[in-house]
Every structure is written in structure tokens, then in C-alpha cells.
Chain A
Amino acid sequence: MSEEGIIKKLMYVNRKAPYGTIYALESLEVVLIGAAFDQQVSLAFVDDGVYQLTRSQNTDGIGMKNFSPTYAALGDYDVRHIYVERESLEARGLTVEDLMPLTYEDEDDDWAEKESLRIVDSSELATLMGEQDVVLSF
């Protein structure tokens, strides 16, 4: 076994709305578990996946756990690249204002707080996906 691990580029692609199915929560759990393995991780939110990041989710009325605050903790797990497809937002009448702010602290820049969420268009996201070693779909 080699002492240094192999660092791979890993992208989680999220395409489902939260709560109606278990995909969104399962993806988040896998991301948090995977964060222990020092890989270069990014998340993409496409199609109905963009609903996972909406502000002010309140699940009191449906008797399920609101797991949306956990996305804000991703920065602490070194997940610094969160991409949201512009076309998916637009088709749903949503803008970046409707999404939670997501940030991380950059240890190379005196722990400055920086945005991890970025809105990208389809062509840019296609390029990013093409650069990955592994793409995991949820």
C-alpha cells in the first residue's frame, strides 16, 4: 500500500427535490461520510435538485426532519465547490436570492469566509463534469 493516497476528483450530482423521495438526504449523508477520505469533492445541483438548497425550509407540517441546515456545514468538511445550474433555477422561477448562502473558511487566506456556492450555466457545468474522475448521481 502506498503511503500517500490517490486524490480523485469526485462530483455528486443531485437532481431530486427534497422530502418527496429519500435521494436528497442519502446524497448528503454520503457526502459527509466521503468527506473523511480527503478527496477533491464538488456538488452539483441540477433539475429539481435545486429545491434542496432553498432558504427557509420548514418541515414542521409534514413530520419529517428538516436537513437543510446541514448544507451550511459542508464548508467545515472541506466541501468548497457547490455548483447550481442556472437553467434549472430559471425554469423553476428561482434565483440565487431564493437559495441558502453557503460558505467555507480559507485557511490559506487567514480563514477568510468565502462563497462555496456558484451559479453556472449548462456548458460550464458540462465542462466541470467532464473533468471528474468519478460522478455519483442522486
Chain B
Amino acid sequence: MSLLHTVNKSPFERNSLESCLRLAEDGHAVLLIEDAAVAALDGTAHTETIKNATGRLSMYVLGPDLDARGLSRDRVIDGIEIVDYDRFVMLACEHDSVQSWL
């Protein structure tokens, strides 16, 4: 089974992303949306954990959520792909199911 995990909470406030990364299987996709977009930035207290995850998971962040929060696209961790809403839909279709981490 190939899964798309979506996370919408900041890792500074909730452990949703942490749990997602712990329980997602190798090769799964993880898309950071809404407040979770802040996790995609390089140089934060969570950067190391997320960098490690990019080796075994396909990591994505929703660009419009970065823009809304004034987070520069240039500062996104290498290995995280920035996607738009159309690509979000494509990702959902390409995977067998979507699991939301709220």
C-alpha cells in the first residue's frame, strides 16, 4: 500500500508530525499543509528530524501555506518538494489512500 500522509499542525505545538514520521512506512509520501508548513523551513529546532525523514519518505509542502505565513520558499529544506493545490490533488489520486494527522 502506498499512502499519502497529510499533516496540518505545527511541530512546535503538537506531536502530529512526530507521530506521522514514526509510523509512516518507507516510501510513503508526507505532505505538510496549513500550520505544518512551518516544519519545512531549514534552520529550525525540527530541521534535523525532518532532514532524516527525507531519506526514506517523499516529503512535500504546500507552497501557498508557506507564502501565507511569510516563509520564504528559498529557505525550505533540500529534499522537500514545494507543491501547489493541483499537485496536492494529483498526489491524493496517485496514492492508494490518504491519512490525515490532525
Assess whether A17 is in contact with B64, with CB atoms less than 8 Å apart. no
Chain B residues with Cβ below 8 Å from A5 are none
Assess whether A91 is in contact with B45, with CB atoms less than 8 Å apart. yes
Distance between B94 CB and nearest chain A CB, rounded to angstroms: 22
Spot the interface stretch: A62-70, A75-83, A127-135. A62-70
Within 8 A of A (CB), among B37-66: 38, 41-45, 47, 63-65
Contacting residue for A91 out of B12, B63, B64, B69, CB 8 A: B12
- Bitwise, B71-90 to A at CB < 8 A (1) or not (0) is 10001000000001100000
Assess whether B34 is in contact with A59, with CB atoms less than 8 Å apart. no
* A48-B10, A48-B35 known; A58+B67 contact, CB < 8 A: yes
Assess whether A17 is in contact with B65, with CB atoms less than 8 Å apart. no
Which size class do B's interface residues fall under?
A: 20 to 34
Chain A residues with Cβ below 8 Å from B38 are 17, 48, 51, 92
A137 within 8 A of partner (CB): no
Chain A residues with Cβ below 8 Å from B84 are 61
A residues engaging B (CB < 8 A)? 16-21, 47-48, 51, 54-62, 64, 66, 68, 91-93, 98
